[in-house]
Amino acid sequence: MVKFTLISILFPFILAMAEAEVLDWNGSPLRKVKINTVAFRGWIPDEAMQLKGTLVLIPGRHGDGRGMAEEKQWQDLAKQVGFALIGCQFTNGEPFLYQQDPDGEVAKAIDNAVTALSVRSKHPELEKGPLAFWGTSAGSNVSSRYCTQHPERVAAFGSSKGTFGPGVETSAATREIPMFFALGARDNPEWLEFSQRNIEKGIGQNAPWILAVSDHEGHEVGESLNAIIPFLKAAIEIRLSPSKQQKTSRSLSSKKVSPFTKLQKIDLRESWLGNPDTYAVAPFNEFKDNRAVAIWLCNERVATAWKDYLLSGDKSQ
What confidence tens digit (pLDDT) does each residue in 45-93 have? 976 679 999 999 999 999 999 999 999 999 999 999 999 999 999 999 9
Pairing type for strands 35-44 and 21-26 reads: antiparallel
What confidence tens digit (pLDDT) does each residue in 93-148 have? 999 999 999 999 999 999 999 999 999 999 999 999 999 999 999 999 999 999 99
Predicted pLDDT at 13: 37
Q: In terms of CATH architecture, what is 20-241?
A: 3-Layer(aba) Sandwich (3.40)
> What residues have CB less than 8 Å from 51, skipping those under 6 apart?
44, 45, 82, 83, 84, 123, 125, 126, 129
Average pLDDT over residues 235-258: 60
Sign of CA dihedral 162, 130, 73, 303: positive
